[in-house]
């Protein structure tokens, strides 16, 4: 197994997520110093979760993050909630204008998709071949 795999407590995993989320009302508030600080906070929080930021794009009205979080006990929903909660608290404390313009920094919704090294077809073929081995 290559270095991209993480061994943990009797298991091996490789978990990669594409996460997208937006400010409340999709307001274009993620610019300048706010965007720079947000990038640093995301990298910090992902590292705390035992992961790595593979790609990150902060746009004025949304965020795209491609993450490797090889902690199987954290669901994608927990990863999203952790990032959104942490960044909201810190950004609203450090940039008071975000508190006055928005009731909360982030909208409640987000998108998360998994990204893997093996295609769906490969997995289906492998599983089908298991019954043939008997």
pLDDT at 8: 62
pLDDT at 23: 97
Please give the positions annotated as active site: 126
DSSP the chain: --TTSEEETTEEE--EEEEEEEEGGG-----HHHHHHHHHHHHHHHHHTTEEEEEEEEETTEEEEEEEE--TTS-HHHHHHHHHHHHHHHHHHH-HHHHHH-SSSEEEEEEEEEE-SS-HHHHHHHHHHHHHT-
Mean pLDDT over residues 25-45, rounded?
Answer: 97
Q: Which value, to the nearest 10 degrees, does the dihedral of the CA atoms of residues 48, 51, 57, 62 take?
A: -60
Q: Hey, where are the domains in the chain? A: 6-132
As a whole number of angstroms, the distance between CA 42 and CA 53 comes to 8
- The answer, yes or no, to whether residue 1 has pLDDT greater than 50, is no
pTM given for the model: 0.85
Q: Hey, what are 123's tokens?
A: 């997995």
Strand 62-69 relative to strand 51-59, pairing: antiparallel
pLDDT at 10: 72
| Bridge partners for 23 per DSSP | 106
Q: Which residues, at least 6 apart from 1, have a Cβ–Cβ distance to it below 8 Å?
A: 12
Report pLDDT digits (tens) over 60-118.
999 999 999 988 889 999 999 999 999 999 999 999 999 987 889 999 999 999 888 77
CATH assignment of 6-132? 3.30.70.1290
Mean pLDDT over residues 17-28, rounded?
Answer: 95
Q: Per-residue confidence at 5, pLDDT binned at 50, 70, 90?
A: low
């Amino acid at each position: 197994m290559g270095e991209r795999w993480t061994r943990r407590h009797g298991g091996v995993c490789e978990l990669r997520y594409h996460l997208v989320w937006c400010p409340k009302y999709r307001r274009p508030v993620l610019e300048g110093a706010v965007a720079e600080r947000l990038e640093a906070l995301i990298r910090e929080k992902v590292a705390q979760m035992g992961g790595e930021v593979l790609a990150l794009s902060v746009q004025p009205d949304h965020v795209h993050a491609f993450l490797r979080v090889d902690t199987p006990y954290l669901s994608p929903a927990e990863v999203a909630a952790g990032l959104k909660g942490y960044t909201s608290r810190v950004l609203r404390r450090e940039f008071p204008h975000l508190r006055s313009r928005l009731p909360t920094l982030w909208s409640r919704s987000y998108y998360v998709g998994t990204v893997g090294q093996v295609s769906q077809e490969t997995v289906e073929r492998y599983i089908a071949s298991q019954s043939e081995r008997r």
